[in-house]
């Protein structure tokens, strides 16, 4: 029993000593380097975020601008705005709209893959 | 401003938040890496790698949980990768500085005999600590230097709390034997 108490006391003393060990400081040059590299990394990531936003905006813009000529063609040819397309011009216009939207969607998917790849751990 | 709001701001890419988090944890993280690797150069490399990894992984941090165990687990994973690549012998190499407590005490530094003895004792304790296996050094450092709870240590180590408790106890007993 006494042996056990002595052991506990010794471990307690050792724990206290471990708590009081001086804290080694990282060299100031290292901390400055880390700060500089981190700021560069953060700036790079901010640029990437902005680029992605610009790309998404351009995509939405391109979809909108392809929609307007399509609607204009329909109006000028005397068709209703949302009915099925009839006649050669309207068919071509519809095909143009669909292909533009599909290519935009493909770009969006590629962008999504790129973002996921970036976030995946190395 | 609370401790956890800085990591959240960091996730939004705020450089000031990074500076604040770095200032808050730099000493403790460096000490942990130094204890784990027992090598200043390796600890410095890992210190840099850890902070850069924090930026790329910050979106994975769950803001409802404390930041500290998450940060230490990032550092630990990098350290383990490094230790795995290194030869097994190097895991427990003694530190490069064989300096004694007396040598560290500057000649012109005013100090009492108690301070000298305390420094000697600290020096001895640090050397004995470095002789322990890396897992034991890590457990003691997290428990007594970082003053983490067993639950927090378990989170850092991804191990059950019971394992952590027994590891700390074993490490402490081994250290006690070596101090004799």
Q: Model's pTM, two decimal places?
A: 0.69
Rg (alpha carbons) of chain B, rounded to whole number? 18
Q: B74 and B116 in one domain?
A: no
B38-66 CB burial, b ≥16 within 10 A, e <16? bbbebbbbbbbbbbebbbbebeebeeeee
Within a 10 A sphere around the Cβ of B178, how many other Cβ atoms?
14
Interchain pair B31, A23: CB under 8 A? yes
Interchain pair A35, B144: CB under 8 A? no
- The span from the CA of B26 to the CA of B19, in Å, is 10
The CATH number of whichever domain residue B59 belongs to comes to 1.10.1740.10
Q: Does residue B99 carry a pLDDT above 60?
A: no
B120-161 pLDDT tens trace = 777 888 888 888 888 899 999 999 988 899 999 999 999 999
State which residues of chain A have pLDDT below 70. 1, 79-90, 119-122
Q: B72 and B118 in one domain?
A: no
Q: B78 and B27 in one domain?
A: yes
- Comparing B104 with A115, the larger pLDDT belongs to A115
Q: B82 and B35 in one domain?
A: yes
**Which helix (H) or strand (E) element contains residue B90?**
none
Identify whether B101 is part of a domain. Answer: no
- Where does B6-76 show beta strands of DSSP type E? none
Find the residue in B nearest to A47 (Cα). Answer: B13
> What DSSP state is assigned to residue B13?
T
Find the residue in B nearest to A16 (Cα). Answer: B144
Identify whether B105 is part of a domain. Answer: no
Phi and psi angles of residue A27, each rounded to the nearest 5 degrees, phi first: -60, 140
pLDDT, mean over chain A: 81
Q: Which domain holds residue B28?
A: 1-86
Identify whether B106 is part of a domain. Answer: no
Q: How far is CA A111 from CA A62, A108, A121, B11, B25, in A?
A: 16, 5, 18, 21, 35
- Comparing A6 with B34, the larger pLDDT belongs to B34
Q: B73 and B23 in one domain?
A: yes
Interchain pair B176, A30: CB under 8 A? no
Using an 8 Å Cβ cutoff, are B141 and B55 in contact? Answer: no
Q: B70 and B24 in one domain?
A: yes
Whether B130 and chain A come into contact, CB under 8 Å, resolves to no
pLDDT at B98: 47
pLDDT at A55: 84
The CATH number of whichever domain residue B135 belongs to comes to 1.10.10.10
> What is the number of domains present in chain B?
2
ipTM for the predicted complex comes to 0.70
Which chain A residues are Cβ-neighbours of B25 within 8 angstroms? Answer: none
In this prediction, residues B97-107 reach a mean pLDDT of 41
Identify whether B100 is part of a domain. Answer: no
The alpha carbon of B96 is separated from its chain's Cα centroid by a whole number of angstroms, namely: 17
Identify whether B116 is part of a domain. Answer: yes
Find the residue in B nearest to A117 (Cα). Answer: B56
Q: Which of B39, B68, B86 is the last residue of a domain?
A: B86
Q: B67 and B23 in one domain?
A: yes
């Amino acid at each position: 029993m006494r042996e056990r108490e002595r052991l506990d006391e010794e471990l307690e003393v050792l724990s206290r000593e471990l708590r009081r060990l001086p804290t080694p400081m990282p060299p100031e040059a290292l901390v400055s380097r880390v700060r500089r590299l981190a700021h560069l990394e953060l700036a790079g990531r901010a640029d990437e975020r902005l680029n992605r936003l610009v790309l998404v905006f351009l995509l939405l813009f391109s979809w909108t601008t392809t929609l307007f000529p399509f609607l204009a063609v329909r109006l000028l040819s005397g068709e209703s705005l949302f009915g099925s397309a009839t006649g050669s011009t309207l068919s071509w216009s519809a095909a143009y709209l669909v292909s533009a939207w599909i290519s935009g969607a493909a770009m969006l998917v590629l962008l999504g893959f790129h973002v996921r790849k970036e976030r995946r751990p190395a | 401003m609370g401790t956890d709001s800085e990591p959240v701001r960091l996730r939004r890419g705020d450089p000031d938040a990074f500076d604040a988090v770095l200032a808050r944890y730099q000493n403790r993280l460096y000490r942990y890496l130094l204890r784990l690797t027992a090598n200043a150069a390796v600890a410095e490399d890992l210190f840099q790698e850890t902070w850069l990894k924090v930026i790329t992984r910050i979106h994975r941090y769950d803001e409802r949980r404390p930041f500290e165990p998450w940060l230490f687990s990032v550092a630990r994973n990098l350290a383990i990768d490094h230790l795995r690549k290194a030869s097994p012998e190097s895991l427990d190499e003694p530190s490069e500085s064989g300096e004694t407590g007396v040598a560290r005490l500057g000649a012109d530094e005013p100090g009492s005999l108690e301070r000298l003895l305390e420094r000697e004792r600290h020096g001895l304790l640090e050397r004995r600590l470095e002789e322990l296996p890396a897992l034991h050094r890590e457990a003691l450092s997290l428990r007594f230097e970082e003053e983490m709870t067993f639950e927090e240590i378990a989170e850092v180590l991804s191990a059950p709390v019971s394992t952590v408790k027994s590891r700390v106890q074993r490490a402490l007993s081994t250290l006690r034997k070596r101090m004799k």
